Amino acid sequence: MNRPELVEAARLSIVRGSKSFAAASRLFDRTTRERVWLLYAWCRRCDDLADDQDHGGTLGSQAGAPARLAMIRDLTDKALNGEATGDPAFDAFGLVARETGITRAMAEDVIAGFALDAADWRPREEIDLLRYCFHVAGAVGVMMAVVMGVSPDDEDTLDRACDLGLAFQLSNIARDLAEDDAAGRCYLPLEWLVAADIPPGEQMKPRYRQALVPLVHRMCHMARHYEASARIGAARLGFRQRWAVLAAAGIYGAIGRAVDRAGAQAWDHRVTTSTMAKLGHVLKALGQSALPAPRRDPVRPYLRRQLAERARGA
């Protein structure tokens, strides 16, 4: 496939896989928008391969997870080496990496998250939860920042780009507790469950729903702090990039806040954001883009480099 064909395939992938990200991506300038689509296509394809899915949905069989993880690594290596892989999503990644300077180490940080799921890993402490969020979303935020022109040497801005990914993933985990439980997964730290007298593996039983609420509130509270940090970093981007990032922050932040407000009823049905609500966040982000960066820097439990060091030491 040539570049226009790869871009079109990536556009179709984001439209099918994430209406929220597809909507936010329209706010970028054309070059950035296309590169965001190319990066998304790789992330989506890796996620689908790892979980034996097709653009999300019900978790597939995990019997062949190690082999699929090896395939992800092999195809990513080939793409980064400039080889044609025969898979448009991996070829798209090779293209956007060459155009922007995304590194092999950045890709490996993301793939390490799939390796945790393949190993049926569970977090024991809060930092373990955030380490997982770093791999599956924060590290993507770092690559997104590079796609938007942030220098790989600008550590603080990359930290804040990572923070937005952490906020997104914490909100996702809070929303998807029931879906993850049905798939035999739980990303709540074991120490949190023990402290709340919730037996591991039984967190979604009706009798533990109320005890679960403070744990989810804690997670959503962390998400808000990381989102606030990301908004400071967004002010350093170009106007259209800032607008897109703030729109995405508003849309995903609303999901976490809705889960938090719903309490024990949060998992009776999947929390979503309506088209009109998304439009409202886009318009609100337009106004926010013209304002200076927030002055108050929130306290975040852990920074990107701490989580990366934790991962290397694990």
Instruction: Determine whether domain 122-314 maps to CATH 3.40.190.10.
Output: no
pLDDT digits (tens, 9 = 90+) for 293-313: 888 888 887 888 788 776 665
Q: What is the pLDDT of residues 272-289, one digit of tens each?
A: 888 899 889 999 999 999
pLDDT for 56 equals 60
The first and second tokens of residue 34, run together, are: 């296309």
In sign, the C-alpha dihedral spanning 130, 194, 260, 121 is: positive
Give me Rg for the CA atoms of the chain.
19
299 within 8 A of 225, measured Cβ to Cβ: yes
3-state secondary structure of 98: helix
Cα–Cα dist 94/84, whole Å = 9
Q: What is the pLDDT of residues 108-131, one digit of tens each?
A: 999 999 998 888 889 999 999 999
Residue count (the chain):
314
What's the CA dihedral at 226, 54, 280, 289 to 10 degrees? 50
Give residue limits of the domains in the chain.
Answer: 1-120, 122-314
pLDDT range class, residue 55, cuts 50, 70, 90: low
Threshold 0.85, pTM exceeds: yes
